[in-house]
A and B are shown apart, each in its own frame.
Chain A
Amino acid sequence: MTSTIVVGLDGHGSGERALAHAEHLAKLIGECDLIVAYIVEWSPYSFQTPEENAERHKRREEEISTAKERVVDSSIEKLITSGLKATGIVRHGDVATALNAISEENNAIQIVVGRSSEGGFAKRIFGSATSNLVMSASVPVTVVA
């Protein structure tokens, strides 16, 4: 039976290390597919100007294609050249919720993420995306330093 691992990327160095670790795991497991996920942080409860609303659909498409081009596609390519099966997903939403949803939809056995790089005031109040994921995920989570 094939197993699946979800890797969460954030476009930074920690994402790269998460990817490398997931690649290593997949090779050890053997029959293992990888899903490379990039989450565009977004909340349906934010406040916007009328103009931003009018252009929202256009911006969303742009955000998705930028994430694909800059982060997801190159990662998939790298995995495929090293002999693994990999697919990519770009989605908007809360990072922890979206990664967990992706892992549930694909019956993943594990989520691998980098330690998040955000900091400051917001982190103190709401916690980082990584710690939120660790606390709420329904599958094991590996956090790569």
Chain B
Amino acid sequence: MKNIQTLLLSLMAIVGFSGSALAQEAMSLDQKVNEVFAAVTGPFVSLIFAPLPGTSFPWIVMWLVVAATIFTFYFGFVQFRFFKHAIQLVKGDYSDPNDAGEVSHFQALATALSGTVGLGNIAGVAVAVGIGGPGATFWMILAGLMGMATKFTECTLGVKYRNEYKDGTVSGGPMYYISKGFDELGLPGGKILAVLFSVFCILGALGGGNMFQANQAHAQIAGIVGDYPGWITGIIFAAVVFAVIVGGIKSIASVTEKVVPFMGLLYVGAALIILLVNFDKIGWAFGQIFDGAFTGLGVAGGFVGALIQGFKRAAFSNEAGVGSAAIAHSAVKTSEPITEGFVSLLEPFIDTVVICTMTALVITISGQLVMDPATGQFLLNDAGTAIQTIGGVSGVALTSAAFGSSISWFPYVLAIAVILFAFSTMISWSYYGLKAWTYLFGEGKTSELTFKIIFCVFIVIGAAASLGPVIDFSDAAIFAMAVVNIFALYFLMKIVKKELHSYSSRLAAGAIKKFKN
């Protein structure tokens, strides 16, 4: 602990003393990082976001939505039928008291949520609404509701096919269920898919789980203290993350894990207060959301533009189909893998349907998006790529301005929340990435340390690069995971269906023991 303090203090000293002389040089360093990064990741990004032939609709968005729709129908709207049961499971009504001290359903859900609730809900929604207009919210909610079925499928498999080691630790996730599940069904290629997934998972951990977070955290801090080179934020963040994941300073992580849920509640609370104060505008805001969903209200790309943005941000925020949650949920103590599937379907609901919608409503009500009062259509910015905003802000700065227009001091709270969310998401993704890494390269001190160091280096790159290339690469890497994962889920979904039938008939017959009322 003392070492970190010294390190941080000396870093601050460097920043303070070398001030402006260094800033000049640093700006060009930031630019250089940015250029190289955009050039290297460009082809990968274009492949993932290639439009469907003859349209401007990215095939990957279609891929996620079609999957969510198929799972929703295949499991007979499991997200609505078992919603109440999922809540009972989280409350512990079905938990055996003899399992006290093991990972509860609540803990598995909370851990998975702290990996997903974060910048996607604050910055991502602002990007979606900024480009796609309020109408994007409608598609985001729809995608969130459907995504619950995808999450249910992957998390059930995650628990069913996890590895339980002799020393009592567990490892789970798509790489395990793909290889074991395909073997069980006698299908070829499971191992190849698992390896492919792991490769993309490592990229996703470095992209959305790391660079995007570092980037937006820097934007927040710079917005408050004034502009300064991004790599400085990067190094400070990297030092703290390094202390936790390499140095084993668990106290930092556990403090974050306790503060993050509190921040989440504070965020939703503030949003609710703003909505209550402006309750006369809520009807209007929903009107905007529905109108915009089908007409676009003048946004770039019309209603298709709104739809793409909504679907994209929902997927990026709740990660349904990506496979990351299956890693987080697999440590739960249960003899029925499907129970964790039920619990996990609450995740997209809380993340997207509740929290993302709050952000979107606050932005819409705040009037930060510039509308032509004569036509009721949004005005576009000079480049024609997004809606004009007051002050020309986008991303997390837009959310901050929207909250700030009602509660003047809230941007400061939001800044702290963003930094903490960014940090907890990084810690979660460092674990997901590590699991994929050890799946590929084997477990062992050197192998693990190599990944952890790479992870920390990418924090610095992420903070230094500009938002455009970072957000593109982050989305692309995370969606690449979904390509492999969902492909495999189509083959494995019949296993989940069997579990669902068995469990629901036993539940109906009263054979599932309830311990609490």
Contact = CB atoms under 8 A, between A and B. Distances in A.
Interface of A: 40, 42, 44-58, 60-61, 63-64, 91-93, 98, 101
B337 to A, nearest CB: 16
B280 interface: no
Contact of B107 (A40, A47, A55, A101): A47
Given A53-B103, A57-B168, 10 more contacts: A47-B111, A51-B431, A52-B254, A53-B111, A54-B331, A56-B102, A56-B333, A57-B333, A60-B101, A63-B101
A49 B107 contact: no
Closest 9 CB pairs between A and B? A92-B101, A58-B168, A44-B104, A53-B331, A92-B100, A50-B431, A60-B101, A47-B257, A57-B168
A45 B162 CA distance: 23
Nearest to A98: B100
A60 B169 CA distance: 11
Given A49-B427, A50-B428, A93 B114 contact: no
A46 B169 CA distance: 19
Contacts of A51: 253, 431
Interface in B72-96: 92, 95
Given A44-B95, A47-B258, A101-B97, A53 B168 contact: no
Contacts of B327: 50
A44 B331 contact: no
A53 B253 CA distance: 13
A62 B137 CA distance: 48
A36 to B, nearest CB: 18
Chain B contact surface mostly:
helix
A54 B103 CA distance: 9
A57 B258 contact: no
A101 B515 CA distance: 13
Contacts of B110: 47-48
A91 B328 CA distance: 26
Contact of A49 (B170, B171, B428): B428
Given A44-B92, A44-B95, A57-B169, A50 B111 contact: yes
B247 to A, nearest CB: 13
A40 B428 CA distance: 27
B169 A44 contact: no
Contacts of A98: 100
A56 B171 CA distance: 12
A50 B432 contact: yes
B167 interface: yes
B108 A53 contact: yes
Contacts of A92: 100-101
Contact of B331 (A40, A46, A56, A64): A56
A63 B102 CA distance: 11
Contacts of B333: 56-57
